């Protein structure tokens, strides 16, 4: 009889979003006259920008003509998109060869698939609170996970120390759920730690485009020594509204080697075996993001989410509630007031003002007592949610 991957039995039930959905459904059934203000979602609400839509239409037309039709695309990505992404890095002072850029269907896919590069005996470090996929992908692979809790005392930006025994280091900056961003010095400490120990950093840069403060690193490759210890995984989901269109990219330096194996070459081998590339149409749409017109348009959309963040931050400031994030990330991470627990605060907001957020406990045990607001909702709903928060908690 076949033996299934028994590690699936070690997964904890992912009850976070299920629980939220159940609780909001029950509330609406009991209160059909009420409407909800959804500040919990991690999905975008604005449509794709004009430059992307135009490129997608043109690419569909290309597929209608024998001369411009494309069949299978190169597994690691179309040269036009790999070059456009390398050009984007160059504009920030990071020199990459297009061969170091791998086009993907999104960061989630890559965060799981990339583990193929590592032996199961190599433990993974997850800084918590964390995006849940890091833990789950490693549990499925049967890998030992080292949990590093972070907290308010270090601004949710912990630093490495010699007690950490892990070979794969997940770093997400700007962070989901806390919105915290590592400074150059803080990130450099992780790069130095990885080089010293022969570890590899998996740097999740899904929210880099939300950084507005000058001097904060958008890419790990802005740091000295990162080319010998890091892989960067990025996504157009939040940057450019591709959550439903699906496109991302992964950067693996040609200089990244461990135990005589070159990780860039290994990934070429992996991709050419396990994928047949991302669709021509979607890659054309993605390339439009990196044009001057596309950049201007996506940043106009990001600004709308940032204005939402400002509304929520102003409300929290006026209430004297501690929070981080919001400035350089689309998430605000706050301390639940009056000593409430995460789910207690969730129920309270739902019941009293119909505002839905995400309980921090769902991102790891150290998230208990905290709460996440997303800024991806509509400006109207965000304004109303902020007003209701002030009214309820300002009493
Ligand atoms: N990484 C982080 C930190 C995220 O928050 C998300 C999505 O919310 C992803 C990766 C997944 O992105 P994608 O839509 O490209 O799969």
Confidence of residue 69 (pLDDT cuts 50, 70, 90): very high
- Test site for ligand 1: of 127, 173, 204, 206, most ligand atoms within 8 A of the Cβ: 206
Nearest atom of ligand 1 to the alpha carbon of 248 = 15
Confidence of residue 269 (pLDDT cuts 50, 70, 90): very high
Instruction: Kindly give the distance from the C-alpha atom of residue 1 to the centroid of ligand 1, in angstroms, as a whole number.
Output: 37
101, 111, 97, 63: which is closest to 81 by C-alpha? 101
Whole-structure pTM value: 0.97
- What mean pLDDT do residues 202-218 have? 98
pLDDT at residue 290 tops 90: yes
- What mean pLDDT do residues 272-281 have? 97
* pLDDT, tens digit (0-9, with 9 covering 90-100), for 230-250: 999 999 999 999 999 999 999
**Helix, strand or coil for residue 355?**
strand
Give the whole-angstrom CA distance, residue 296 versus residue 389. Answer: 33
Q: Where are the beta strands (DSSP E) in 245-290?
A: 248-251, 257-258, 261-262
Q: Residues 276, 231, 181, 371: what is their CA dihedral angle, to the nearest 10 degrees?
A: 50
H or E element: which one contains 37? strand 37-38
- Test site for ligand 1: of 103, 131, 175, most ligand atoms within 8 A of the Cβ: 131
Pairing state between β 101-104 and 248-251: antiparallel
pLDDT score recorded for residue 15 = 73
pLDDT at residue 122 tops 90: yes
- Test site for ligand 1: of 132, 202, 237, most ligand atoms within 8 A of the Cβ: 237
Whether the Cβ atoms of residue 96 and residue 221 lie closer than 8 Å to each other:
yes
Give the whole-angstrom CA distance, residue 320 versus residue 334. Answer: 11
pLDDT score recorded for residue 200 = 98
Confidence of residue 42 (pLDDT cuts 50, 70, 90): confident
Give the whole-angstrom CA distance, residue 280 versus residue 286. Answer: 10
- What mean pLDDT do residues 166-172 have? 98
The DSSP secondary structure of 319-340, one letter per residue, reads HT--EEESSSSSEEEEEPGGG-
338, 344, 336: which is closest to 372 by C-alpha? 336
* pLDDT, tens digit (0-9, with 9 covering 90-100), for 93-106: 999 999 999 999 99
Instruction: Kindly give the distance from the C-alpha atom of residue 358 to the centroid of ligand 1, in angstroms, as a whole number.
Output: 16
Give the whole-angstrom CA distance, residue 85 versus residue 94. Answer: 11
Instruction: Kindly give the distance from the C-alpha atom of residue 209 to the centroid of ligand 1, in angstroms, as a whole number.
Output: 13
Over the range 52-76, which residues count as b (16 or more CB within 10 Å of their CB) and which as e? bebbbeebeeeeeeeeeeeeebbbb
Give the whole-angstrom CA distance, residue 295 versus residue 190. Answer: 30
What tokens appear for 84 in the block?
């456009």
pLDDT at residue 392 tops 90: yes
- Test site for ligand 1: of 176, 236, 305, 330, most ligand atoms within 8 A of the Cβ: 176
pLDDT score recorded for residue 262 = 98
Nearest atom of ligand 1 to the alpha carbon of 107 = 15
DSSP 6: G
Ligand 1: lining residues by beta carbon, under 6 Å: 42, 106-108, 131, 172, 176, 204, 206, 235, 237, 243, 248
pLDDT score recorded for residue 41 = 77
What tokens appear for 79 in the block?
């040269």
Helix axes 280-289, 292-319, angle to 10 degrees: 70
Instruction: Kindly give the distance from the C-alpha atom of residue 330 to the centroid of ligand 1, in angstroms, as a whole number.
Output: 12
Instruction: Kindly give the distance from the C-alpha atom of residue 339 to the centroid of ligand 1, in angstroms, as a whole number.
Output: 30
Range of weakest confidence among 15-29, 55-69, 174-188, 346-360: 15-29
* pLDDT, tens digit (0-9, with 9 covering 90-100), for 325-342: 999 999 999 999 999 999
172, 185, 146: which is closest to 42 by C-alpha? 172
pLDDT score recorded for residue 180 = 98
Give the whole-angstrom CA distance, residue 276 versus residue 77. Answer: 9
- What mean pLDDT do residues 156-169 have? 96
Q: Is 106 left (phi over 0), alpha (psi -120 to 50) or beta?
A: left
Q: In whole numbers, what is the pLDDT of the chain averaged over residues? A: 97
Q: Whose CA is nearest to atom 5 of ligand 1?
A: 176
pLDDT score recorded for residue 12 = 84
pLDDT score recorded for residue 16 = 84
Instruction: Kindly give the distance from the C-alpha atom of residue 86 to the centroid of ligand 1, in angstroms, as a whole number.
Output: 21
Confidence of residue 17 (pLDDT cuts 50, 70, 90): confident
């Amino acid at each position: 009889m076949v033996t299934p991957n028994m590690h699936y039995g070690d997964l904890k039930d992912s009850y976070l979003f299920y629980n939220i959905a159940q609780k909001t459904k029950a509330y609406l059934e009991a209160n059909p006259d009420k409407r909800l203000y959804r500040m919990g979602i991690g999905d975008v609400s604005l449509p794709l920008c004009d430059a992307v839509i135009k490129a997608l239409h043109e690419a569909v037309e290309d597929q209608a003509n024998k001369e411009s039709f494309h069949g299978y695309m190169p597994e690691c990505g179309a040269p036009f998109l790999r070059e456009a992404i390398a050009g984007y890095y160059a504009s920030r002072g990071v020199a990459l060869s297009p061969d170091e850029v791998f086009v993907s269907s999104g960061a989630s896919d890559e965060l799981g698939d990339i583990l193929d590069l590592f032996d199961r005996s190599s433990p993974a470090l997850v800084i918590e609170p964390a995006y849940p996929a890091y833990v789950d992908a490693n549990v499925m692979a049967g890998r030992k996970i080292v949990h590093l809790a972070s907290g308010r005392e270090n601004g949710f930006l912990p630093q490495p120390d010699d007690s950490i025994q892990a070979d794969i280091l997940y770093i997400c900056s700007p962070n989901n759920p806390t919105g915290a961003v590592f400074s150059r010095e803080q990130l450099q400490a992780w790069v130095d730690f990885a080089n010293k120990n022969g570890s590899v950093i998996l740097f999740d840069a899904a929210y880099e485009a939300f950084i507005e403060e000058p001097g904060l690193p958008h890419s790990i490759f802005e740091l000295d020594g990162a080319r010998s210890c890091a892989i960067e995984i990025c996504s157009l989901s939040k940057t450019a509204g591709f959550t439903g269109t699906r496109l991302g990219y992964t950067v693996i330096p040609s200089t990244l080697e461990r135990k005589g194996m070159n990780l860039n070459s290994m990934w070429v081998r992996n991709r050419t075996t396990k994928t047949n590339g991302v669709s021509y149409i979607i890659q054309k749409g993605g390339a439009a993001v990196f044009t001057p017109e596309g950049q201007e348009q996506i940043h106009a959309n990001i600004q709308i989410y940032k204005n939402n963040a400002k509304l929520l931050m102003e409300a929290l400031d006026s209430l004297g509630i501690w929070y981080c994030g919001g400035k350089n990330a689309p998430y605000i991470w706050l301390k639940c007031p009056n000593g409430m627990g995460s789910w207690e605060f969730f129920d309270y907001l739902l019941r009293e003002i119909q505002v839905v957020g995400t309980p921090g406990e769902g991102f790891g045990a150290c998230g208990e007592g905290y709460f996440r607001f997303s800024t991806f909702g509509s400006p109207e709903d965000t304004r109303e949610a902020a007003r209701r928060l002030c009214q309820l908690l300002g009493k």
